[in-house]
Amino acid sequence: MGGDTIPTQTFLNLDQDKKDRIINAAMDEFSNNQFEHAKLSNIVRAAGIPRGSFYQYFEDKYDLFYYIFELVKDKKMEYLSDLLPNPEDKPFLVLFEELFTAGTRFAIENPRFVKVFSHVIDSKGEIYDQMVKTSLEYANTYYVDYIKNDQAKGRLRSDIDPYVFAKIVIDLTLNVSLDEFGISVEELDYDKMKQRITQIISIIKHGVTKGDANV
């Protein structure tokens, strides 16, 4: 499943208008259906190309999906790339809120991209294992480094396991995002999502019990 070069040089040599038609047709199909239910017949028809031509550009549906998923990741990185290096050495939770805010802007401004990603998360199948797990591991590596840096500078408790903390933060925010993306695109609410993540960060910082509570 999947070829050595994604896409082929033949596809890369196409004029931009034709490439855009194929990409948009694929994006529509994969944003409206999980990978298993997406149909190549719909894509080639919407793109206005013969089915035979498709196989000059991609080996199979998986190759096309992989290409589309990489476009989604690249687009999201445009929103995050300036923040990830943390040039101002911001505390992890401050930086994390900014990353989530940037990710929310990406979601609002690129609803089809987000729907593609959400379908993969929901499927928890082979596509998830091959694509999303790698992205989450990538995020986890960044978060662990931020947490360790904060611990070294006395910003976070030294007894906290950085790997456990990073996983908690990733799982919480992923669930918040998927909960919001489950509604129609037109109803996505930037302020509501930002408010929810602010509440999560407040709970992480301050806990849930009052100072004098006997729990």
What global pTM score does this model have? 0.81
Spatial distance between the Cα atoms of 185 and 148, rounded to a whole number of angstroms: 37
Residues of the chain with CATH 1.10.357: 82-206
Task: Classify domain 82-206 by CATH architecture.
Answer: Orthogonal Bundle (1.10)
Q: Which fold has domain 9-63?
A: Arc Repressor Mutant, subunit A (1.10.10)
* pLDDT at position 18: 96
Sequence-ordered list of residues with C-beta below 8 angstroms from that of 110, at least 6 positions apart, any chain: 72, 75, 76
Residue recorded with tokens 């990741």:
73
Residues of the chain with CATH 1.10.10.60: 9-63
Contact between 30 and 91 under an 8 Å Cβ cutoff? The reply is no
* pLDDT at position 186: 54
Euclidean distance between the first and the last CA atom of the chain, given in angstroms as a whole number: 54
Structure tokens given for 28:
């529509």
* pLDDT at position 183: 46
Query: pLDDT 10s per residue in the chain (215 long)?
Result: 444 557 999 999 999 999 999 999 999 999 999 888 999 999 999 999 999 999 999 999 999 999 998 898 899 899 999 999 999 999 999 999 899 889 888 888 888 888 888 788 777 677 777 777 777 888 899 999 999 999 999 999 999 999 999 998 888 777 766 666 554 555 667 777 778 888 888 888 888 777 655 55
Three-state DSSP at 4 gives coil
